[in-house]
Amino acid sequence: MLVFDVLGGYPPDARVVGGPSPDVPADRSPHVLIGGSGPQVRAGSKVIVQYVMAEWPGRRVVDSSYRRGGPSAFTLGPRAAPPGWVAGLAGQRVGARVAFPAGVGRSLLYVVDIVDVL
């Protein structure tokens, strides 16, 4: 027996309103690139995102949900999300694009579009 939990339908190119595919910023500090106005993301929320992960300092993209075909969904928690995501996304709002480093001691930078929160 198979059981599916359908979270919703999101197009492969889903992104924040008014925002093209994200570029990797020159600054590695955490910051909001586009403000969101939707529901707030909280630790423990189910979050639907599009993202780009880049090596630092070269800014070379090494992973991207845009390249892999669409948004990813996960629970925003320490063992369920990539390192740095809880601190980088908690408190942000749906519709935001944020950039933040991938946790302590990692030379990666994420640029994340928050598509939805459930």
Residue tagged 């063992």 (tokens): 79
* Residue pLDDT, tens place only, 14-68: 656 655 678 889 888 999 999 999 999 999 999 999 999 999 889 999 999 988 8
Q: What pLDDT shows up at residue 68?
A: 85
Contact 39, 97 (CB under 8 A): no
Phi, psi dihedral angles at 106 (to 5 degrees): -110, 135
- Give the predicted TM-score (pTM) of the model: 0.84
68-73 mean pLDDT? 87
Q: What pLDDT shows up at residue 111?
A: 94
Contact 75, 90 (CB under 8 A): no
Query: Which positions ≥6 away from 67 have C-beta within 8 Å?
Result: 61
Q: What is the set of domains in the chain, with CATH numbers?
A: 31-117 (3.10.50.40)
